[in-house]
Amino acid sequence: MSAAIELKGICKNFGSVAANKNIDLSVGKGEILALLGENGSGKTTLMNMLSGIYMPDSGSIFMDGKEVKINSPESAGKLGIGMVHQHFKLVERFTALDNIRIGMGKEAGTIFKKDTTRKEVLDTAAKFGFNIDPDKYVYNMPVSEKQTLEILKVLCYGAKIIILDEPTAVLTVQEVERLFDVLRKMKSEGHSVVIITHKLNEVMDISDRVAVLRHGEYVGSVETKKTSEKELTELMVGRKIDLNITRPIVEKTHPLLEIRDLTVKNDEGAIAVDGMNFYIRGGEMLGVAGIAGSGQKELCEAIAGLRPIEKGQMIHEGESIVGMPPKKILEHGISMSFIPEDRLGMGLAPSLSITDNMILKNYNEAKGIFVDRKSARQEAQKTIDKLEIVTPSTETPVRRLSGGNVQKVLLGREIKAGPNVLITAYPVRGLDINSSYMIYDILNEQKKKGVGILFVGEDLDVMLALCDKIMVMCHGKLQGVVNSGHTTKEDIGLMMTGALNIVNKEGKTDGIAKDSAIEEKKEEGHV
């Protein structure tokens, strides 16, 4: 297979940190290449140099055998390189058509030719099997539609080399399948695709070849059909890792947290959680599945006392916590911890040290006006040692840590508080497989201690393996609660889109949820 693009001796440094070291990498024409590596291995940095966001400190880039210079996203676009970033680059108040038009070449005057652009967009969409309304505003689009628009954008700009950064992070099973169908169609049309992902099952499904980076260096590449998930993991980490996710059987206690007819609004004033009913028992991990924006964030914030509720009850060990601020909840002795999905924006203070972040929850317990930083530093060091946090010292600002280590700091602080209910939202989002499995083990340790865990996740394979039961949300409504051992991810995917609902008007469940938590709750007399 001839190379569409080649990287030779690419180096990129940020101060004293070497993000990429002498990397040689090629992508063939009509090839889907998966790029793997742990957090901080340099994957996104390398692709950002291809897309013109960064420039390499040294090394060369070749296209069709000729050396090229890429010094801006515009120059990358002219060379036929387009990147779909993990966080979409769309103007929410513009339509799909206008989002495409604003990036088209001014020199040709196409930005003003709306009818011509519309035809081009619709023709490109039809060619690759996209279903999109060019006049729909971005703020009205679900996540999968926004991603479709991003891919359509780079195709309309003439990209022949397309880079996708974590493209399946917030998609349902059915949406992932549709995306992969599109990628295969692009491959058949001669496009080259680079996909950055941590999901090994998807790597095995979609890619022709896998390239692996470790600590900023190129480890090597293998043909997908000649490798396995286990081998790829060993290449990424440099040692053997057990890929089995355990689900320890723990004797369930009484419900620690009960949610009854809960209704919550989002920041715009619309109903985000609509009449939810469920409970969490001690020693139980209850998963929450749903398309992004289905009310998961608002549900977690309401339980943690960070968002007011419209109606309903939240009962923790027999005591109502409705209306209590987070501090008041702690003062009442209700040991409940919340790990938000926005770990740097909401969970931690990025400019403060690990030590200072570890004592944020209990600094006001200090006797006198001074905080005992010596003890706090010792506790921080214990957490670093236990969770294998990679950091120069306890005084390093958390913003300087990799995503996986930031998450360990947050998780370590919340567990140190000794909660009996743990609310965690997307705890492994964007983390490499090594860090992810460590966090699964930490959560299982808490479960064995009798902690009730609400686990909001996005990888259905992981949720089926890790959680005891899975509660599915769609547009803020409960679609049902299913036993992880008696369902499939296809069924859960249908529930996430609203195509399958196993909760009837009487509040009972049927179909695939014969032993759902709702039924058990009724039997135990908690409703």
- Judged by average pLDDT, the poorest of 71-80, 399-408, 434-443, 505-514 is 505-514
Helix 403-416 to helix 433-448 angle (10° resolution) is 10
Of 12-21, 49-58, 218-227, 271-280, the least confident: 12-21
Q: Residue 416: name the closest of 391, 451, 370 by CA.
A: 451
Retrieve residue 64's tokens.
């069709």
pLDDT of residue 2: 81
Q: Quote the CA–CA distance of 211 and 129 in Å, as a whole number.
A: 28
Q: What is the mean pLDDT of residues 436-448?
A: 89
Q: Which of 22-36, 277-291, 367-381, 475-489 has the lowest mean pLDDT?
A: 367-381
Token pair in block for residue 48: 């950002």
Distance between first and last Cα of the chain: 63
- Quote the pLDDT of residue 252: 84
Q: From CA 255, how far away is CA 476, in angstroms rounded? A: 23
Q: Is pLDDT above 60 for 110? A: no
pLDDT at residue 218, rounded to an integer: 94
DSSP codes of every residue in 46-93: HHHHHTTSS--SEEEEEETTEEE---SHHHHHHTTEEEE-SS----TT
Q: What would the CATH number be for the domain defined by 255-335+419-523?
A: 3.40.50.300
Contacts of 296 (CB under 8 A, 6+ apart): 288, 290, 425, 456, 473
**Residue written as token pair 């070449």:** 105
Query: Which has the closest alpha carbon to 343: 440, 419, 413?
Result: 413
Confidence of residue 276 (pLDDT cuts 50, 70, 90): very high
Mean pLDDT of 476-494: 90
Share of the chain above pLDDT 90, in %: 35
Averaged pLDDT for residues 276-299? 91
469-474 and 285-289 strand pairing: parallel
Q: What is the per-residue pLDDT across 347-384, written as a single tens digit (0 to 9) for each?
A: 788 888 988 888 877 666 655 566 777 888 888 898 88
Radius of gyration of the chain (CA): 24
What does the pLDDT read at residue 369?
Answer: 62
Give the per-residue pLDDT at 288. 94
| Calpha distance 518→520 (Å, rounded) | 5
Q: What pLDDT, on the 0 to 100 scale, is given for residue 522?
A: 43
In the predicted structure, residue 469 carries a pLDDT above the cut 90? yes
Question: Within 87-172, where are the H helices?
Answer: 96-101, 114-128, 143-156
Query: Taking Cα atoms as reference points, which of 442, 517, 504 lies closest to residue 288?
Result: 517
Cα gap 491→507, rounded to integer Å: 19
Domain boundaries, the chain: 3-237, 255-335+419-523, 350-418
* Residue scoring higher pLDDT (240 or 514): 240
Pair 163, 47: CB distance under 8 Å? yes
Q: Do 255-335+419-523 and 3-237 have the same topology in CATH?
A: yes
Give pLDDT, residue 31.
95
Pairing of strands 285-289, 452-456: parallel
Task: Using alpha carbons, list the distances in angstroms from residue 199 to 196, 378, 390, 438.
Answer: 9, 36, 23, 16
Average pLDDT, the chain: 83
Q: Minimal CA–CA distance to 265: which of 300, 322, 307?
A: 307
Average the pLDDT over 38-58 and give the result. 89
Distance CA 343, CA 516 (A): 31
* DSSP-derived secondary structure for 353-401: BHHHHHTTTTGGGSSSSS--HHHHHHHHHHHHHHHT---S-TTSBGGGS
505: left (phi over 0), alpha (psi -120 to 50) or beta: alpha
Please give the residue that has the higher pLDDT: either 329 or 98: 98
Beta strands in 184-226 (DSSP E): 192-196, 209-214, 217-223
Is the predicted pLDDT of residue 510 greater than 80, yes or no?
A: no
CATH dotted code for 3-237: 3.40.50.300
Q: With DSSP H G I counted as helix, E B as strand and the rest as coil, what are the percentages for the chain, rounded to 5? A: 35, 25, 40
